[in-house]
Structure 1
Amino acid sequence: MTGLFSKFPSPFLLGDIGGTNARFSMINSQNYEEQIFPTDRVSDFQNIDDAIEQRILPLAREKPHSLILAVAAPVEGDTIPLTNSHWVIDVKALIRRFALKSVFVINDFEAQALATAVLEEVYLKKIGHGTMINSGSRVVLGPGTGLGVAGITYADKRYFPVAGEGGHVDFSARTGRDMALFPHFLHNHNPHRRVSFEDILSGRGLIRLYEAICIVDGIQAVFDKADAITGAAHHENQPQAKEAVDLFLTYLARFAGDFALIFKAHGGVYIGGGIIPKIMRLIDENAFRTHFEDKHPHQNMLATIPVFIMTHPRAALEGLAAFARQPEHFLIDYKNRLWTAQSRP
């Protein structure tokens, strides 16, 4: 096989490294079957090196020759600090420590974008109407520890993912309620005097949103964890928690509509991350679509674009595995993201 396999010798260790969790799998050297490893918390290890040494290699059926990582950070060199974690990926140190022949690193939502090409329909929950055009551009986004965004286009029978840091664009208030809450987003944050969408559409952002609602309503906040807020939102006697989740979903719909416009995403908008699959029962599909499409003068175009929730728990690894097995189906930029044993000092 050519393409990836001429660059990366098997077996392949695949890793999806987020701000909270580290997920790994192995593609073996015989028939390219996948070995899945248990999910670990990033906070349990000093660095990725220790996680691989202590948790992966003792269970691995083969010693990896190549490492392919999707990380929650921009890939801008051979030392990559994660945006919302203490881990720093030192590529050349990994090559030395584990005698790897190659390491390839992409953004985690770039891997989620790859997954849209291969996920089965059972893992895609559609929100409302819209019709997917297979050859159309797609957007993948998702709130979790942070807010990831990527695009993927299709040309010449290959998928081309586009990484970005769209979660850090400015948040803007539109309604009177937004404007009443906004000063408290600013106050509870920030030496930089700005509020990004990630400051709201993330686990810590949901907490900030709930606390701002409590302040404006003049009541004492009861919850200080995102899971507690989403749990309370199911109960009628916690209106601030319910409003926090409703506004979170409203802001997510607006944000998704913005990026659907940017990419003209007739291939669909795909929502991943760790939060939304847990609160699907709280989504009002009609309200979500209304906020998603409310982009005059292009609301009619947005009405044709489908929105899906990606429910696969290891979607990024599915994307990496598809890339490893059939590299000819993807057009990937290797520049400054691929390191080999021969290239290290």
Structure 2
Amino acid sequence: MSEKFVADVGGTNIRLARVTSTGVTDIKKYLCLNFASLDLAIQAYFDEYSDYQFTQGCIAIACPVLGDQVAMTNHSWVFSQQALQKQLRLSALFVINDFTAVAHSLPALDNSQVVQLGEGTALPSGNIAVFGPGTGLGVEHLTKTSTGWMTLDGEGGHTDFAPVDETDVVIWRYLQKTQGRASAEEVMSGRGIMNIYHALADDQGIQATLSSPAQVTEQALAQSCDICEATLTQFCRIMGSFAGNLALNLATTGGIFIGGGIANRFADFIQRSDFRARFEAKGRMKHYVKDIPTYLIAEPDHGLLGAAAYLNQHITSEL
């Protein structure tokens, strides 16, 4: 029997699943570093589920998808879409940006799959934005058209980091000094947490001894390290300001959503943080954003669900 599959490819992990009439199942996660190329990772999934004959698929990937040749931003995989379809013996293959997939999942999420941060009420047909700190920083907008929801692709994670308070300025100066440019991704990602941590430690003349964002987050939540707490506090503030900018960019009265692999690890911390205060801190435009809701996506499989929605929509449209 012909089967459909979806893949959610990040800089660290690739997650794959089989598409069913009600969603996705048989979800597996592999480390990207364990495979020399994308086709080998997907073939490993096919081999693991050899009872199924996969003939159609959608790959959501963390990089721009502008033509046949796809090169990942935060990993070494480079491939041709046409060659990959032939290698995997598929009748149909769609390759989309990972946040295009995330965006397609949003209209289908219910209250049990999101956590609201602060006040605000979504308008049913209002524009939506989603961003997700992970290995990198994905950003996507979604708008309602006469034929349904349509994503507006871009690379918003690589826009300039705009300092708002004095601590932001410390971080901006550190990035300018060490990297030559301060982008949003360099403060809102795994390495962004480390950049903030090193910047604050450097500013206070303290030795930075931790080596991973997980360590920084763990010590911040345990309240065992002042610099780590300050790092996570500023991370949440920066996310709030960035979310507010997205709201201003496209009048996102349908809400702003946070996805990615990081924020869910400290959802309670975000709720208690200045995230929402910084979201609304837009001066004369505070009235413009104050009623726009902000959400944390709690559904772990939203990327796969979005890829499945995209696949089903586009296969139907081509029939």
Q: Check whether the contact 1:14–1:317 (CA below 8 A) recurs between aligned residues.
A: yes
Q: 1:172 aligns with which of 139, 152, 162?
A: 162
Q: 1:104 aligns with which of 94, 105, 111?
A: 94
Matched residue type, 2:249: I
Matched, 1:295 2:285: no
Task: Output the CA distance in 2 between the equivalents of 1:198 and 1:162.
Answer: 19
Which residues of 2 match residues 82-231 of structure 1 at below 5 A? 82-156=72-146, 158-188=148-178, 190=179, 193-231=180-218
Which residues of 2 match residues 254-273 of structure 1 at below 5 A? 254-273=241-260
Matched, 1:37 2:24: no
Task: Output the CA distance in 2 between the equivalents of 1:317 and 1:196.
Answer: 28
Q: What's the CA shift string for 1:319-338, capped at 9, x where partnerless? A: 12223445599x9xx9xxxx
Give aligned-pair identity as a percent. Answer: 31
Q: Check whether the contact 2:6–2:57 (CA below 8 A) recurs between aligned residues.
A: yes
Instruction: Give 1:90 shift.
Output: 2.3
In terms of fraction of residues, the more helix-rich structure is 2
Task: Output the CA distance in 2 between the equivalents of 1:266 and 1:259.
Answer: 11
Q: Check whether the contact 1:75–1:107 (CA below 8 A) recurs between aligned residues.
A: yes
Q: Check whether the contact 1:124–1:308 (CA below 8 A) recurs between aligned residues.
A: yes
Q: 2:40 aligns with which of 13, 25, 50?
A: 50
Give the CA RMSD over aligned residues.
2.1
Matched residue type, 1:103: L
Runs of 5+ consecutive residues of structure 1 not aligned to the other structure? 1-8, 335-345
Cα 1:96–1:324 change in 2 (3 A) is closer
Q: What's the CA shift string for 1:120-142, capped at 9, x where partnerless? A: 22110000100011100000101
Instruction: Give 1:79 shift.
Output: 1.5
Secondary structure at the counterpart of residue 73 of structure 2: coil
Task: Output the CA distance in 2 between the equivalents of 1:150 and 1:288.
Answer: 19
Q: Which residue of 1 aligns with 2:231?
A: 244
Instruction: Give 1:106 shift.
Output: 1.0
Q: What's the CA shift string for 1:114-163, capped at 9, x where partnerless? A: 01011222110000100011100000101000000001011225111111
Task: Output the CA distance in 2 between the equivalents of 1:297 and 1:10.
Answer: 56
Scaled by the length of structure 2, what TM-score is found? 0.94
Instruction: Give 1:98 shift.
Output: 1.9
Q: What's the CA shift string for 1:179-220, capped at 9, x where partnerless? A: 2332212233x2xx2110001111011101101111111111
Instruction: Give 1:250 shift.
Output: 0.5
Q: Which residue of 2 aligns with 1:342?
A: none
Q: What's the CA shift string for 1:225-253, capped at 9, x where partnerless? A: 00000000023330100000000110010
Runs of 5+ consecutive residues of structure 2 not aligned to the other structure? none
Q: Check whether the contact 2:134–2:190 (CA below 8 A) recurs between aligned residues.
A: yes
Matched residue type, 1:255: F
Matched, 1:14 2:34: no
Q: Check whether the contact 2:24–2:305 (CA below 8 A) recurs between aligned residues.
A: no
Matched residue type, 2:7: G
Task: Output the CA distance in 2 between the equivalents of 1:59 and 1:10.
Answer: 13
Q: Which runs of 4 or more aligned residues in structure 1 lie more than 6 Å from their structure 2 counterparts after TM superposition?
A: none
- Segment drifting more, 287-296 vs 315-324: 315-324
Number of residue equivalences:
318
Q: Check whether the contact 1:37–1:56 (CA below 8 A) recurs between aligned residues.
A: no
Instruction: Give 1:314 shift.
Output: 1.5
